[in-house]
Structure 1
Amino acid sequence: MSAYEPKEILIDDISLLEPEATYSYADYLKWTFEERVELIKGKLFRMSPAPRRTHQEIGTVIGNEIYNYLKGRPCKVYHAPFDVRFPGNTGDSDDQTFTVVQPDICVVCDSAKLDEAGCKGAPDLVVEILSPATASRDLNEKFHLYEEHGVKEYWVVYPGENVLEIYDLVEGRYVSRGKFVRENAVGSNVLKGLKIELSDVFEEING
């Protein structure tokens, strides 16, 4: 399949895009429609219009715990919408970059990867909170994407089950550390000393 030929005009209606075409980050920057989308290896994926309340509550607790832990430390935590670009090579230009995603939460410890557009390169830790519309993508395409590009730690939250699963990157492959439930506390191998009580994360769900 040939690459999408970029147009020099802004696209304000997602229906004008060709669903089967291959797009670059340079194309993505020309889209002004309200729908949130991601690109994975040039393929267009629509995101959920708005996260559910439970999704937001879980993200707020985890994000706040990480933010408080990182005070005075060099790493930074970011929440969606925040663009993370995965170029094939470090020096790839926007039109040579075909993947841009918006993790629910990500932690970046290398400031050289940060710019005004977001993050270029792999975050150190990514958290995805599953929703019906994105669960398959988070557990398949994005799982392999984060693994391939070297995201050191991947947390997957299952809101309907009150479960958080943690994957650690070991010799280039994700290995599940386990599935943790409301009665557990979780830590991070990337952020040494971080401890999050899952009873706090899932409190509103059980309330």
Structure 2
Amino acid sequence: MSIQAGKEAVRETSAAYAVDRESEKTPGRMTFEEFLAWGDEDTWAEWVDGEVVVLTPAGVKHQQIARFLGDLLGNFVLMRQLGEVIPAPFTIKLPAPQERGREPDIVFISRERLHRLKPTYFDGAPDLVVEITSPESFARDRGEKYVEYEAAGVKEYWLIDPDRQQAEFYRLGEEERYRLHTAGAGGVYHSEVIPGLRLKTAWLWQDPPPAGVEALREMGVI
């Protein structure tokens, strides 16, 4: 093969690869079942009104907080046999009439609702959803998802903002509307849906956050 022919082959291969990658990013309209089949365990995407929304990669601080909370909540729930804590990427299919397949950073599903946990998604509203904001997701997490989770009946919604070092904790009230609950004395938040869990918000802003087991020890759990 000549050098020129080789260059042409490389260009054709590169062009075909670019088309393939673009089709992966924007696969077009599909059903929820097609969305599940299209993605895999490494896919970071959501399903909104029949369209696929590919999520941008997370930053270091986002991942540090996600790892800490996943470790803390996961171990606490496991020790007390309260249910399941599942980190992203994992899809939740919000109940009708919403056509949404969201991928929160962390979800907690109580033992009483584990029957709705499917092999590749959760069918319904988790008891707790945690979203850690980024510049790209800030408006979506505070706007669209806030409204969706409230309407779906997610009992607690934690909104963690690493840039502002701000943690907001929302709980569904009797009128099925979110009400903001702040951390109490010492900057400690007491969860309602995970009985006995205490989260010191200062842990979130440490660089890096402590290990989950250290936080549990400080709480006096272990």
Give me the whole-angstrom Cα distance separating, in 2, the residues matched to 1:40 and 1:177: 29
Q: CA RMSD in A?
A: 2.5
TM-score by length of 2: 0.74
Cα displacement string for residues 108-155 of structure 1 (whole angstroms, at most 9, x for unaligned residues): 011111110121110000000001111111111111110111000000
Are residues 1:86 and 2:90 paired? no
Of residues 136-145 and 27-36 in structure 1, the stretch that sits farther from structure 2 once superposed is 27-36
Give me the whole-angstrom Cα distance separating, in 2, the residues matched to 1:152 and 1:30: 29
Cα distance, 1:58–1:17 mapped onto 2, change above 3 Å: same
Q: Which residue of 2 aligns with 1:94?
A: none
Cα distance, 1:160–1:98 mapped onto 2, change above 3 Å: same
- Structure whose CA Rg is larger: 2
**Shift, 1:64, TM fit:** 1.4
Which letter does structure 1 place at the counterpart of 2:198? K
User: How many equivalent pairs are there?
Assistant: 183
**Shift, 1:37, TM fit:** 1.8
Of residues 71-80 and 99-108 in structure 1, the stretch that sits farther from structure 2 once superposed is 71-80
Which letter does structure 1 place at the counterpart of 2:87? H
Give me the whole-angstrom Cα distance separating, in 2, the residues matched to 1:29 and 1:158: 29
Q: Percent identity?
A: 28
2:68 is paired with a residue whose SS is: helix
Unpaired segments ≥5 residues, structure 2:
1-19, 210-222
- Do the aligned partners of 2:95 and 2:125 also contact (CA within 8 Å) in 1? no
Q: Which among 12, 22, 27 is matched to residue 17 of structure 1?
A: 27
Q: Which residue of 1 aligns with 2:73?
A: 66
Give me the whole-angstrom Cα distance separating, in 2, the residues matched to 1:86 and 1:67: 22
Which letter does structure 2 place at the counterpart of 1:47? L
Give me the whole-angstrom Cα distance separating, in 2, the residues matched to 1:55 and 1:163: 13
Q: Which residue of 2 aligns with 1:77?
A: 85
Q: Which residue of 2 aligns with 1:184?
A: 187
Q: Which residue of 2 aligns with 1:38?
A: 46
Unpaired segments ≥5 residues, structure 1:
1-10, 90-96
